[in-house]
Amino acid sequence: MLIFCLLSLFFTVSNGQNYQKLVLVYGEPTVGNGYSTHEISWEQCYSMCYWDENCSFSYYYSSQCSLYQYGNYSIKQLTSSDEKLIAVKRNLTTCPSKTVQIVGTDSYGDNDTVYINRITSDGTFWNITYSSTFQCDNETKLFQRGNYWVCVGVRLIDYCANYTVAGVNLCSSDGWMSMTGPYSRDELNYFLANRGTLGWRTPTLWVDGMGGQFMDVTQNKDTNYPKCGGYSRNDCAYIGYNGYNCVAQGFCYWTSDNTYCWRGATCLRGYVDVS
């Protein structure tokens, strides 16, 4: 049974792309005593859990408060007559109106690792499973794209080359999956910061998008690209045009000119779907 969800300004914070709420229900953990126990009020109990980054949920009964760190648990579903209270952290933009909405999947990224916290129900128990099975390597950086977490990076070659050589082929070799593109301004800035230097020429990078065809399933084609004026899907997409923080279009056979050298691409290393 759902008691309520804390939605007041005091209990609503944003942590990166996470929107933490506490969902308060009647229940009891089936095992363990938690990592921290206190004799305090119910309000102090769930407040303590909320502000403790290691706390997944708190349990309160008869003035005793126990905090439980992220992990795998079963919580028996109870009613108000049992007077046993649970406060569960969820990353929600709004509070649920029904008990079933305690169920769901939350994820967050920290130090290029994705942590996933899933809550399911069989009608008698809420089951919590916690894992950190997706991690980016040193060549890449972690970003979130809706329900996807991705590891992306920049791959470079020692010469100027066309879209197929410096893009398609480069991004599908040595354990990389495919080309990708900047899903956000943050991604665009990351890619541009890692294109290196090249003497008097400006290094440019091919990005996913050739004649309206796209390889990366995580980016919703070019919908989220920060696009330059006059952008179209007629040719091949690239970034690095001098003075412009945006995705431009050029002929796919371009390699270099007096100003630019197409010397690499933005590539997808891996992804996980947390929907």
85 and 107 assigned to the same domain: yes
Counted domains in the chain:
2
pLDDT, tens digit (0-9, with 9 covering 90-100), for 183-216: 999 999 999 999 998 888 999 999 999 999 999 9
170 and 56 assigned to the same domain: no
169 and 127 assigned to the same domain: no
pLDDT, tens digit (0-9, with 9 covering 90-100), for 145-191: 999 999 999 999 999 999 999 999 999 999 999 999 999 999 999 99
**d(C-alpha 97, C-alpha 95), whole Å:** 7
Mean pLDDT estimate for the chain:
90
Using the 3D structure, point to which of 110, 135, 160 is the last residue of a domain. 135
What pLDDT does 19 receive? 59
**d(C-alpha 142, C-alpha 152), whole Å:** 7
Instruction: Tell me the β-bridge partners of 69.
Output: 55
User: How is 110-178 classified by DSSP, letter by letter?
Assistant: ETTEEEEEEEEE-SSEEEEEEEEEEE--TT-EEEEETTEEEEEEEEE-SS---HIIIIIIGGGSTT--E
Task: Enter the tokens of residue 212.
Answer: 């309206």
251 and 148 assigned to the same domain: yes
| Containing structural domain, residue 246 | 141-273
Per the model's pLDDT, the better-predicted residue between 122 and 92 turns out to be 122
148 and 266 assigned to the same domain: yes
100 and 164 assigned to the same domain: no
What pLDDT does 18 receive? 54
Using the 3D structure, point to which of 103, 135, 167 is the last residue of a domain. 135
How far is Cα of residue 66 from the mean position of the Cα atoms in its chain? 30
214 and 149 assigned to the same domain: yes
Nearest-5° Cα angle at 258, 211 to 203:
60
Residue 7, pLDDT > 60, answer no
- Here the CATH number for the domain that contains residue 147 is 3.10.100.10
Q: Where are the extended beta strands (E) located within 10-147?
A: 13-15, 18-29, 36-39, 55-61, 64-69, 73-77, 85-91, 104-110, 113-121, 125-135, 141-145
Mean pLDDT, residues 5-31 taken together: 63
Nearest-5° Cα angle at 9, 6 to 13:
85
pLDDT, tens digit (0-9, with 9 covering 90-100), for 21-60: 889 999 999 987 899 999 999 999 999 999 998 999 999 9
98 and 217 assigned to the same domain: no
Using the 3D structure, point to which of 135, 154, 178 is the last residue of a domain. 135
What pLDDT does 133 receive? 81
